[in-house]
Amino acid sequence: MHAPAWLPMPVRRTLRVVRRQWRIGVRHGRRLSAPARRAWRRSLHLRVVTLTLVTSSLLVGGFGWFIADRSTQILLDRAEDEVQAQMEGKVRYAYQQLSVHRQVRDQELPATIIATVDRLADGDSTESGGAIVSLRADTIPEIKPDSSITVETEPLITREMVREVAESEQVAQQIRTLEVAGTRTKYLVYGSPVPTSFGHVELYYLVPLTTEDRAANQIRTTVLVTGLALVILLGIVAWLVTRMVVTPVRVAARTAQRLSAGLLDQRMRVDGEDDLALLAASFNQMAANLQRQIVRLEEMSRLQRRFTSDVSHELRTPLTTVRMAADLIFSEREEFDPAVARSAELLQAELDRFESLLTDLLEISRFDAGFAALDAEHSDLVPIVERVAERLAGLAERVGVSIELRLPETPVIAEVDPRRIERVLRNLVGNAVEHGEGRPVEVTLATDEAAVAVTVRDHGVGLKPGEERLVFNRFWRADPSRARQTGGTGLGLSISVEDARLHGGWLEAWGEPGGGAQFRLTVPVRTGDRLVAAPLPLIPRDRAVDAVPPAIAAAPAAADEITDEPAETAEVVR
């Protein structure tokens, strides 16, 4: 917020300095409080104990204040009742003594006043710990005030109280504080008019509340100490109880983390027969069931992989024999009848497809067994892309699709396995040509300092919502009838995903119904580098504005490694 322009320049400079210092202070405070905030977020134990201490402190403090206040009020009420009872007796006595004088000029009146004050104060000095009796007549100048103790009573008997007693002729009381002999003492002051034959005289009785103050302070101290002890005790109890509950939860969390890390033999210790013990027993039962299921699934997967590998290898031998016979028949097909010649051509095509399927199955089995190796070398990707387009030019011509290459003029060197990269691009471009619906297929290559990306874009039927996650599944096809002009095996994209992962890269898909599809292959320039972003966007630029980004199927090394342009922040990684 800027300072108003109408303020003088020095004021605006001062405001800017104040705002700057304020921001620096806020940042410094946040930095200093970061460990505490982090501990507060992560520790359930700390939150429960802290909230218990705060709540108990408020409750105990409120209750203690109420007890102390009520106790003080009770002590004060009792003192007021006692002083009021004594005051009534003193007023009657003063009335009896002063009523014998008919006029102010009576020479015996001063002596009577002094004797009355001494008699009224007799015993109070010891019993009440310094009570003061004062007899005065503010409306009668001839009568001089007299007090039982020589002390300045003006701070105790205020003008407001004098007016209420002398002029209004009413009984008044108040509590005032006076410093006597270097000690501040609180007094309960009572004033009452005394009717006489010559007019009204005011009698003031000042009783120190030292005993009551001492008792109230003792009560407050006792309540404070008891409250602190109670709060500390509640904190200790909350800490122990929370520890009893949180510790098994922490053990369960650590055990679950170990289970998720693959340590399937981890179990919780079961102590007792309470709810926590039941939780531990249920957790252990769940872990045992999961372990059995995972072991069974791993065994089934191992047997499946072994079966696939064994079948693929065993079929190689009869396939070779059949291939030799089929090649002989195919080479002599022109001498056969047209029907037999056509059968020879179909046999040859199906054998090619069957051999391709066996090759893909063997490759998949190597990936599953973890035997796939990367033969990386510094290669130029421009010739690889051109070679793939050249080899698929015949297929593209047959289906009426043109392949448009958008390649840099300079070489694009990266540390890759050329055979695997070419296989990935051949699968992507082949699928794009197959689904191109007679429209051009665009192949774009770009690079930066860390990554190389290739996008293959078609303008065919596209992908329905959710199919972006399925295109990389084995044997999955968007066309349920499996009608293909090329007769693919359904394993090409699955193998391509594994090839991308082997490079430490990504293979991602985007598509929309009627808008075509785009696949993006991203690999690091240097083997072993971690990918952060891709040089090319996954969503085509002509669709990035008006298209809602669908879920994206991908194959990165880790889902949290994908970072891309702002248009792709909604991508979901597979």
pLDDT tens profile 384-431? 999 999 988 888 888 889 999 999 989 999 999 998 899 899 889 998
Q: How confident is the model at residue 5 (pLDDT cuts 50, 70, 90)?
A: low
Range 37-41 average pLDDT = 78
Q: What's the pLDDT score for residue 181?
A: 63
More confidently predicted of 360 and 342: 342
Label residue 374 exposed, middle or buried (CB < 10 Å: 0-12, 13-18, 19+): middle
Q: Of 215, 193, 213, which is closest to residue 204 (Cα–Cα)?
A: 193
E-assigned strands of 213-286? none
- What would the CATH number be for the domain defined by 276-368? 1.10.287.130
Question: Are 6 and 19 spatial neighbours (Cβ–Cβ below 8 Å)?
Answer: no
| Average pLDDT across the chain, whole number | 80
pLDDT exceeds cutoff 90 at 523: yes
Between CA 103 and CA 197 the distance in angstroms is 7
Fold designation for 374-568: Heat Shock Protein 90 (3.30.565)
Range 167-187 average pLDDT = 78
Q: What's the pLDDT score for residue 522?
A: 93
Fold designation for 43-255: Beta-Lactamase (3.30.450)
Question: Are 491 and 572 spatial neighbours (Cβ–Cβ below 8 Å)?
Answer: no
pLDDT digit string, tens, across residues 429-448: 998 998 888 899 999 999 99
Q: Sign of the C-alpha dihedral, residues 224, 229, 235, 241?
A: negative
Share of the chain above pLDDT 70, in %: 87
371 vs 110, 368, 496, CA distance in Å? Answer: 125, 8, 16
More confidently predicted of 141 and 570: 141
Range 136-141 average pLDDT = 75
pLDDT exceeds cutoff 50 at 178: yes
Range 51-60 average pLDDT = 88
Q: How confident is the model at residue 124 (pLDDT cuts 50, 70, 90)?
A: low
Q: How confident is the model at residue 560 (pLDDT cuts 50, 70, 90)?
A: very low
Q: What's the pLDDT score for residue 307?
A: 74
